[in-house]
Amino acid sequence: MSPSDYRNWRLEFDLDGICWLTIDREGESANSLSSDVFSELEQIVTKLEDDPPRGLILQSGKSKSFIVGADVREFDEVTSPAEAEAFIREAHALLDRIEALPFPTAVIIEGYCLGGGLELALCFDYRVARNDDSTRLGYPEVKLGIYPGFGGSARTTRQIGGFQALPIMLTGRMLRPHQARTLGLVDQLVGPHGSPRWAARRAVLAGRKSRGPSWLAKLSNSGPARRFLAGQMRKQTAAKANPAHYPAPFELIEAWERYGDDPRQMLDEEARRVARLINGSTSIGLRRVFHLMESLKANGKDSGFRARRVHVVGAGVMGGDIAAWCVLQGLEVTLQDREMKYIEPALKRAGSLFRKRLKTPDRIAGAKSRLLADVEGAGAARADVIIEAIFENLAAKQELFRDLEARVKPGALLATNTSAIPLRDIASVLTRPQRLIGLHFFNPVARMPLVEVVYDDATDTDEVERGAAFCNQINRFPLPVVSSPGFLVNRVLARYMLKAFQLHRERGLAKEALDQAVVDFGMPMGPVELADTVGLDVGLGVMNTLGSEETAEDAKVLQSYVEQGKLGKKSGEGFYQWKNGKPVKDRAAIEGVNLQSLAKELMQPYFEECQACLDDGIVASRNDIDAGMIFGTGFAPFRGGPLFYLSRQSRPEEGATS
């Protein structure tokens, strides 16, 4: 066997007779398990069975990942549950053969080991992982509307017990190496300066095997305990996901509840259930979300722009939270406002975010040291990116940018976070107006993954690319949008929320019913709660910008709330009273309301405005509309995007459930 026998694998033998098997998928930046990769692996396993080496060690030839999972692109080629089940059973048979190899085996995990990559690793006797920030393990399949299908549900529950295994699969969360080691998914950790190759080699020569499941793990898989735990998991999962919308987690719970003490039966259930799920409307919609996410990440990929320092002007909720998020991504940030008293609340919020995300005292302290209060604005001269996030007033923004242009570096990226003011009006005071772009973040910044990169026909295209590259650098999805009233997201939301306000004002429909109707449809929250969450003052500003005779009465209602200081969640009262960060709702107000009919009425203007934005060229494509509304408004992900959903509704034989 020579290294050139295969396109995606390399085999080498050392002097001790150990076979080193390296996965290095041809033409790809990361390893994934395609049908071609599996076909070659089957040939390799057959050769190793026929001529056994002293041992086998699997490693990755990619610098940043082990195996990121199955090749999601191939999922869309599956035409029926029968076809999917046949492929899954073939994968099961191959992994069974690897697990049964009659010589010691080990695997080296460096970088991302996800989905099918982890399922493959669990077939080896011993697992060595690099203990650093680049290594992560987990099962993200639930985010694609399925659950682990290459033996993961059986092997993981067998290895660490259902009590520990199911939460990993149900949530899709990624584990750090030390967490995986504690759970028993990894057997040995090697530090940044150690050698995983030597550790794996020693393990094979010594014939080491992974420690078996603990007594507690075995107990959790036993009948009485399993049934009790399954009931609790089902209840907890239902609190976060509607079974009608997201069936995969509940299918996994049911399979384990019935057969958790029988790995062979778990494999059989996995083949049948995952095959059915992968052909369902939820998985089809969620896979489209995955592809949309990848397309957004591609924006700005050709730009070499990388920032080290960011200067944010305006320490309000948006500006302060943008600054904190940039710090969380490793950047140094200076935060400017008129007086220190305006910056202090932002620093306090940032501290809370750092404690929640970073956990350890040293990392929290490091983040705090990178966020600097800057009343005088001295940081603007050193910054690579300057983001304006002051109040929505054209004259104030123009004055600020006139001053900034004279002080910033020639190559610095100049951006405004305006939610509605046309870019051309703000840029008109600049000597080089073509350098100004919009970077429109959404509230709450730490949770909303989209940033609208705003431009017009005068904007330098290189600046748009640099803005998109910066968004990717701070782990946000960049969506280029044309500067026009409301851009994309706010323009659609304005019509949608206006419809809710009108139904509340004119027909007396309870706000709780309005919200519940669209939550049942699949939205993360209703339009009234959303208005409170965004801030009624912000909503009023957008409504005034997009104003017409149609909006006048509802603008008056919002104006009255704002004048009373009822701004929504941030003030503790808006349409709702807010306690402990949650709106107080009267559940009785929903009784007797046809929520399904109401949802259709509420969503209609949302859909119409999405189509209007496409027709007006606000973004480049239907995909961009769908991506913007999913990641910018939380449009029901399992439906694949508003325009995709509408197209499927016109084909009942393929349509998603309503």
The Cα 367–Cα 356 span in angstroms is: 12
439 bridge partner residues: 453
The Cα 543–Cα 561 span in angstroms is: 14
Angle, helices 223-238 vs 162-171, to 10°: value is 20
Find the angle CA(549)-CA(552)-CA(558) to the nearest 5 degrees.
160
Whose CA is closest to 23, among 34, 35, 8, 43?
8
Task: Spot the catalytic one: 245, 311, 440, 504.
Answer: 440
Q: Helix (H, G, I), strand (E, B), or coil: what is residue 65?
A: strand
67 bridge partner residues: 113
Q: Do residues 9 and 24 touch, judged by C-beta distance below 8 A? A: yes
Catalytic status, residue 193:
no
Listed in sequence order, the DSSP H helices in 122-262 are 152-160, 162-171, 177-183, 196-206, 215-220, 223-238, 248-259
**What is the 8-class DSSP label of residue 327?**
H
For the chain, how far is it from start to end, CA to CA, in angstroms?
A: 55
The Cα 211–Cα 125 span in angstroms is: 9
How many residues make up the chain in this entry? 658
Question: Who's near 320: CB < 8 A, 6+ residues apart?
Answer: 312, 335, 343, 345, 346, 347, 349, 350
* Token pair for 113: 């080991």
Q: What is the DSSP string of 533-553?
A: HH-HHHHHHHHHHT--GGGHH
The Cα 29–Cα 15 span in angstroms is: 31
The Cα 275–Cα 255 span in angstroms is: 14
The Cα 535–Cα 571 span in angstroms is: 9
Find the angle CA(23)-CA(284)-CA(147) to the nearest 5 degrees.
55
The Cα 341–Cα 334 span in angstroms is: 15
Helix, strand, coil % over all residues of the chain, rounded to 5: 55, 15, 35
The Cα 254–Cα 248 span in angstroms is: 10
For the annotated catalytic residues, the residue numbers are 440
